[in-house]
Amino acid sequence: MDFQGRHVVVTGGTGALGTAVVGTLLEAGASCHVPYIVEREVEQFPHRNHPKVRLAPATDLTKEEAIAQFYDAVPTLWASIHLAGGFAAAPVAETKHAELMQQIELNLVTCFLCCRAAVRAMTRGNAGGRIVNVAARPALEWRTGAGMAAYTATKAAVAALTVALAQEVANDRILVNAVAPSIIDTPANRRTMPNADHSTWPKPAQIAQTIAFLAAPDNQVTRGGVVPVYGRV
């Protein structure tokens, strides 16, 4: 995969999966533009001083103005990868309206608005591009979302958005796909589930390889896919 001379946005790029994705893209020659909110993640972000990394602080991805300002500063956008989101687990009977709306904002709204900004930037350049979203296993296998229905519903919406948008922009040479991870092998997930068999979980670096392919110029035909990245779970 050759990303030399190409500019890529990675939302959620300072997180565990984002760090792996940015690292994979940098190895392939990309220039990475990473918006963030959480300062402590940036302090631990191993690529923060890389010459091809542009960090954009205090970028609220639920706000149209902030997103427009961020994307307008990216020269000739090639790919936009949307990892930003949030997780919450609770039965429906115990999920408050505010908690539901927070899941919608974190997962669907951020993805939708960044997709919109990316499409606008790519069509202005008339050079095509790639968009990769992140759904989740429950977005494809709804019964596995029991006990986390708000999260499941918003990630299913991301999957539907991905497929609809892929059809909408195909003639603009913009290929849109998503990945659907199971439980990712991150330190936070290990702490939450210390007795699980972590060896079966997909690793961030493995998922990053799939995302990078979908975002790469080498991908000439794959669009409208929601690709399972389950590991052996």
Report all structural domains of the chain as residue ranges with CATH numbers, in order of start.
7-229 (3.40.50.720)
Averaged pLDDT for residues 108-119: 98
CB 8 within 8 A of CB 71: no
Q: Using 50, 70 and 90 to split pLDDT, how confident is the model at 201? A: very high
Burial of residue 202, with CB atoms counted within 10 A of its CB: 0-12 exposed, 13-18 middle, 19 or more buried = buried
Q: Which amino acid is at 68?
A: A
d(CA 44, CA 166): 35
**Residue 123, pLDDT score:** 97
Label each residue of 67-82 as H, E or C.
Answer: HHHHHHCCCCEEEEEE
Question: How much is the mean pLDDT over the chain?
Answer: 97
d(CA 95, CA 88): 10
Q: What is the dihedral of CA 213, 214, 220, 225, to 10 degrees?
A: 140
Q: Which residues of 87-118 are buried (b: 16+ CB within 10 A; e: fewer)?
A: eeeeeeeebeeeebebbbebbbbbbbbbbebb
Provide the percentage of residues in the chain whose pLDDT is more than 90.
97
Partners of 177 in the β-ladder: 132
**Residue 233, pLDDT score:** 86
Q: What angle do CA 61, 66, 70 make, to 5 degrees?
A: 95
Q: Which amino acid is at 34?
A: V
* Cα–Cα distance list, 179 to 99, 110, 135, 176, 196 (Å): 24, 16, 6, 11, 23
Q: Using 50, 70 and 90 to split pLDDT, how confident is the model at 113? A: very high
d(CA 110, CA 113): 5
pLDDT in tens, 129-167: 999 999 999 999 999 999 999 999 999 999 999 999 999
Averaged pLDDT for residues 27-49: 96
pLDDT in tens, 19-31: 999 999 999 999 9
Q: Is the pLDDT of residue 125 over 90?
A: no
Among 157, 179, 162, smallest CA distance to 230 is for 179
Partners of 11 in the β-ladder: 82
Provide the percentage of residues in the chain whose pLDDT is more than 70.
100
